[in-house]
Chains A and B, each alone.
Chain A
Amino acid sequence: MSEEILKALMQLFAIIAKQDTGLSKSERDYVENFLRHQLNESSVKEYLDLFDFYINEGDFTSSEQSKQSDSSKTLEIAEKINNTLDKKQKIVVLVRLFEFVNSDKNLTPQRISIIKNTADIFNICNEEYKAIDTFILEDAPDKLDIKEILFIESGDKELNKAKRIQYPYLEGTIIVLKISSANLYFLRYTSNKELLLNGLPINNNRVYLLARGSVIKQPKGMPIFYTDIVSSFRSDETSVKIHFKAENIYYEFPDDGNIGLNEINIEEESGKMLGILGASGAGKTTLLNIISGIEKPTIGKVSINGIDLHKNINSVKGIIGHIPQDDLLIEELTVYENLYYSTKLVYKDLSDKEIKKKAEKILFNLGLLHIKDLKVGNPLNIEISGGQRKRLNIGLELIREPSVLFVDEPTSGLSSNDSANVMELLRELTVRGKLIFVVIHQPSSEIFKMFDNITILDEGGYQIYYGNPIEAVIYFKELDNQIDSHVGECPSCGSLNPETIFSIIESKIIDEYGQPTVSRKTSAPEWFEHFKEKISIKRVTKFYDKLPHSFKKPNWLNQFKVYFKRDLLTKISNKQYLALNLLEAPLLAFLLAFIIKYIEDPTSNLYIFRDNDNIMPYIFMCTIVALFLGLIVSAEEIFKDKKILKRESFLNLSRSSYLCSKIGILFIISAIQSFSFVLIGNYILEIKGMNFEYFIMFFSIAAFANILGLNISSAFNSAITIYIIIPFLIIPQMILTGAMFNFDKINSVIGGGDEKVPIIAEFVPSRWAFEGLVVNQYKNNKYYKNFYNKRKLESELYYKNVYYITELKRYVEDYKNRKSSGHEKPISKDNLQLLRNEIKKEKQSKFSLYHDYKFEQLDKLYIKKFNPKIAEQLYEYLDNIHDFYNRRFNHVNKTIDDIISDKTRTPEKRKEYLKLKNSYHNKYLSDFVKNKMAPLPLVRLGNNLVQKINPIYLNPPKENLFNIRSHFLAPKKHFAGNYYDTFYFNLIILWLMTIVLYITLYFKILTKLIYYIENGIPILNQKIWKMRIKLINFLTKKTGI
């Protein structure tokens, strides 16, 4: 009890004492006695003096005035301490006040009214007030027959409301009061026979607070445990009884085969709290994971009401709650919101109002209602205390009302006060019929006593104790042959030191110099032998209630909505994140566009789109920026939620609805970013009439990056890894976009200079996006779209005319020359093959429909059959089609020229034409798509000729039905016999890639892959290790060292 409360209590005692008759001897004795129980000798004196001071303050006359001032003083004091006391302490104060008044049976109305006032200010409800009143002031059993009271006696009188525990040989009655709201039990004993509470004799005229883990014992017979009392009170509560049993749990670590747990047995029932204790590394958390169904035991069975937990996890999952050591809170949300969304995710049928009510009720129960609108914040940036965080974490599980709770280290990192608070919260839950398993590392005495049962694990996973915590101390002391081994707790202070247990367990053999050695006195297996020998686990009656239904989780769409809202709220509440994300794109767009807004003519200030050398790089940057923004936005998303996800996966919630909600929000952010980027970038660079296409492509690549980011964020386990990964994802994409490095001029091992885009670049989304945008920008702009098809035809004819047919003719000419000069081998097999291939293609080309020149001797183009006559025919054929192409080219060229001269006939028209061209057509982009820098217009690849110039005018060949590959910057793409516009085709490819990534995300393929990779490494390590040993052996043999 704190100084302040004691002071207040002294004051209250004094005020009450002053009423009516004044202080009696017994009252003063009570105060002294009370203080003696709380404090040491010197402090008792101090407080007693204080009490006397308050008594002597003012006069003794009970005038109306002083009465009034007393009652107002009471109010004042009560109000003052009201804020500093918690519910329990208030109850204790109230009980003490009654006890004080009762000490000399001087119950004047005035005294009672002061107590009543205090109770009112303390907000103690009337029922409980009355129950305390009855419990302390009444003696007649029939008066005491109320539901808050329990009799422990040997008889079995008829009782209406009160409960009873039969306790043979007990003289008199132990009366126990339960205050449900504070979960407190008070006890008094009506006889003056010897009875020990936690080893200390009970005084028959005192009221005792029944602490957790207390044991009541008479010299003869079995003790009565705290939990017996608690469960008696609960017997009428209609909750499902849970019977939990873990039999012979044996566990080997899969990695190295080390034994983690050794024959563990646990049997518990509803309303109990079991502590799992042990040194670190003894397997506490492993045990918790096994009995909560997260991991499977190697041997053994865990059952809840007879249902095997590991075989029927889904039918049991609903009643199991698991609270890991980690924080599961969403930092950006408030306390209330955290709970609210969790509630929404588990309750399908509840209306918003009901959920709100439920959440608030839980917050109230957790004592968090007053901070419900505070943001959770992160542990470093404290908004709410560690204890509050922990309680909220517990609340997240409680909302589902699980019947069995598994809690891992709830007190780690908390102050002793917070620890006690959290443990009390858990304790209270047992009262509501929950079965709770708590892993705890070296609890304080206070916490230690809260457990109904503890089990202690020792090194190697040996179970060395199971049973009452206080008995544990005695058990180990006895085994250690210590003096006063029968005393569980320190008789004077009521505390016990769990440390003793561990120091006994781990005590070391002392060597002859008095120094402790490394070996233990009693090894873990020895303790285990003792345990098997001496302690049998108390069998609990088996009652197999039907398990309650799992909570009703909402359907996919509703889960999606909840996730979506929760995530959205999280994002919105983080102002910095929001502002950065929304401003990033337009700022980058401005920066980029402004810097590259190039005016070619140094003497002019007029920006001309056509002359800007940077449009291609701009498009390239667009795709890279989109990729980057998309990745950055998403890269940490799932990783951040990892713990929460783990919990939610426990709830069997739909992963896809979670992912879709994530994706939905990311897509919205990316869409906004894309829109603002494109709008500003295109506006500054005066790219006209293309905003939609840029937007949709920018957005698509960002969407791809979003999902890519989600993949890595779900696969990697630290933020730093994720950010290290990002360059690996972006830089190859930059390299293989085709903008920085011409595909004709990259390493030929990966396909540089090939006919088609290198295979590796087919998997590069930025390439598809870039290509789509560039092709679209070039051929679909307002100026060029009317020319494109004609220009394309012109280009095709030009290529045939100038390069292709000329080249084919050259092969035939070579043959003729060599033949006439009597060369032995006038033509090579390869060259003939080439001629065969190319002429076949030529015959199939669309142009062959427009002329009548034929060459029907393809089958003669073989070494054995080829002769000057055939060569002559071939040459003639080539010559003819050469002329044809020449004529057609001239015609098309003239036609286009005519159109242009028509469009530029008058100065006005010319101006208009120029304006159109200047603002829609970019000459540098045009150079790029025509591959002006190509070292050669056509190349020989194998036995084929491949066009390298003017890729923008070349449709890919219709080789095979489902071949979608083509050369870079093809104007159209081929699929299933048709040509499709490159822009939309690429867009679809991008989305298909995105869908594939979604599938890998959903099935955690990347995660699995990484797991396999990492697990491959130990094997490797082993091999390396073995080799090292061999080497060392070899060397030692050789050198003889």
Chain B
Amino acid sequence: MIKNIFFSNIIVLASFLFLAELKGNNNLTDKCQSTSHAEGTRFIRDFPVQHTASSGSSPRVARYNIILHRGTTYRIYACNDESKPGEVIISLYRDDQFIATSYDVDSDRHFPYIEYEVNASGQFALELMFKGGKEGRAVGILSTVE
């Protein structure tokens, strides 16, 4: 009897699996923060994005308003969840005016980060989307260069 109890306990405990962390996005942020892009910067905010596949002509876009201040150099970078096909593209707008993007369509190049020396404070918008509207998960990070 007691043997049985012990035995069954051992079986149960053998299958004792700790659950994966629930904070999936943060892992990505942490990962991103540990890349070389983050060197010499101070983290301000992260912008996680997760999209299912959408049509390439009008891909889903995540948009965040931010206010950037004069006299500060910001660095914007992003990291992809490698398990998903989507590659994230970050674009920066001042009001509705395009400023910069991490992806150069002409040369089909991804730039790991954008550095932006702000000389005029104002409201900006950060847009994140996946190239070709593929399914993907990524995080964009805004930080200041110290």
Q: Give residues in A with beta carbon < 8 Å to B.
A: 748-749, 751, 753-754, 759, 803, 806-807, 810, 817, 830, 936, 938-943
Contact = CB atoms under 8 A, between A and B. Distances in A.
A936 B23 CA distance: 13
Given A749-B6, A936-B19, 17 more contacts: A748-B13, A754-B9, A754-B12, A806-B22, A807-B19, A830-B15, A938-B19, A939-B18, A939-B19, A940-B16, A940-B17, A940-B18, A941-B12, A941-B15, A942-B11, A942-B12, A942-B15
B9 A936 contact: no
Nearest to B10: A749
Contact of B22 (A807, A817, A939, A943): A807
Interface in B17-45: 17-20, 22
B118 to A, nearest CB: 38
Contacts of B22: 803, 806-807
A502 B113 CA distance: 115
A829 to B, nearest CB: 12
B9 A751 contact: yes
Given A749-B9, A749-B10, A751-B9, A941 B16 contact: yes
- Top 6 nearest A-B pairs (CB, nearest first) are A748-B13, A940-B17, A942-B12, A942-B15, A941-B12, A940-B19
A939 B10 contact: no
Most chain A Cβ neighbours within 10 Å, of B5, B13, B18:
B13
Nearest to B20: A810
Nearest to B85: A821
A550 B22 CA distance: 81
Contacts of A941: 12, 15-16
A759 B5 contact: yes
A807 B9 CA distance: 24
Contacts of A810: 20
A65 B15 CA distance: 117
Contacts of A817: 83
A748 B19 contact: no
Contacts of A754: 9, 12-13
Nearest to A751: B9
B16 to A, nearest CB: 6
19 contacts: A748-B9, A748-B13, A748-B16, A749-B6, A751-B9, A753-B13, A754-B12, A803-B22, A807-B22, A810-B20, A936-B18, A939-B16, A940-B15, A940-B18, A940-B19, A941-B12, A941-B16, A942-B12, A943-B15
Contacts of B15: 830, 940-943
Residue among A749, A939, A942 with the highest chain B CB neighbour number at 10 A: A942
B84 to A, nearest CB: 9
B7 to A, nearest CB: 11
A79 B112 CA distance: 126
Contacts of A940: 15-19
A809 B109 CA distance: 36
A317 B7 CA distance: 54
A156 B87 CA distance: 142
Interface string B95-137: 0000000000000000000000000000000000000000000
Contacts of A759: 5
A830 B17 CA distance: 12
A857 to B, nearest CB: 24
Nearest to B21: A936
A371 B12 CA distance: 72
B12 to A, nearest CB: 5
Interface residues of B, number: 15
B16 A753 contact: yes
A81 B26 CA distance: 108
Contacts of A803: 22
A943 B14 CA distance: 12
A972 B100 CA distance: 61
A753 B17 CA distance: 11
A817 B83 CA distance: 10
Most buried by A among B6, B20, B22, B83: B22
Contacts of A748: 9, 13, 16
A157 to B, nearest CB: 88
B136 to A, nearest CB: 12
A988 to B, nearest CB: 24
A754 B8 CA distance: 12
A907 to B, nearest CB: 38
Contacts of A753: 13, 16
Contacts of A942: 11-12, 15
B109 to A, nearest CB: 27
A806 B22 CA distance: 8
Nearest to A752: B13
B133 to A, nearest CB: 16
Nearest to B11: A942
A1036 B83 CA distance: 75
A492 B83 CA distance: 122
A807 B17 CA distance: 13
Contacts of A936: 18-19
Nearest to A753: B16
A803 B19 CA distance: 11
A759 B18 CA distance: 22
A101 B17 CA distance: 112
B127 to A, nearest CB: 26
A941 B9 CA distance: 10
Contacts of B9: 748-749, 751, 754
A507 B5 CA distance: 68
A402 B15 CA distance: 72
A21 B122 CA distance: 153
A753 B14 CA distance: 12
A810 B24 CA distance: 11
A1039 B10 CA distance: 49
Contacts of B10: 749
A45 to B, nearest CB: 90
Nearest to A940: B17
A409 to B, nearest CB: 49
B131 to A, nearest CB: 19
Nearest to A807: B19
B91 to A, nearest CB: 28
B34 to A, nearest CB: 24
A749 B5 CA distance: 10
Nearest to A938: B19
A431 B145 CA distance: 118
Contacts of A938: 19
B35 to A, nearest CB: 24
Contacts of B16: 748, 753, 939-941
Nearest to B84: A817
A124 to B, nearest CB: 77
A939 B9 CA distance: 15
A748 B18 CA distance: 14
Contacts of B11: 942
B123 to A, nearest CB: 31
Contacts of B83: 817
A693 to B, nearest CB: 33
A882 to B, nearest CB: 14
A939 B20 CA distance: 10
A803 B21 CA distance: 11
Interface in B44-59: none
A824 B47 CA distance: 34
A29 to B, nearest CB: 94
Contacts of A749: 6, 9-10
A388 to B, nearest CB: 56
Contacts of B12: 754, 941-942
B56 to A, nearest CB: 18
B13 to A, nearest CB: 5
A751 B22 CA distance: 26
B4 to A, nearest CB: 12
B3 to A, nearest CB: 13
A278 B108 CA distance: 118
A871 to B, nearest CB: 15
Nearest to B22: A806
A634 B140 CA distance: 71
Nearest to A814: B20
A941 B8 CA distance: 12
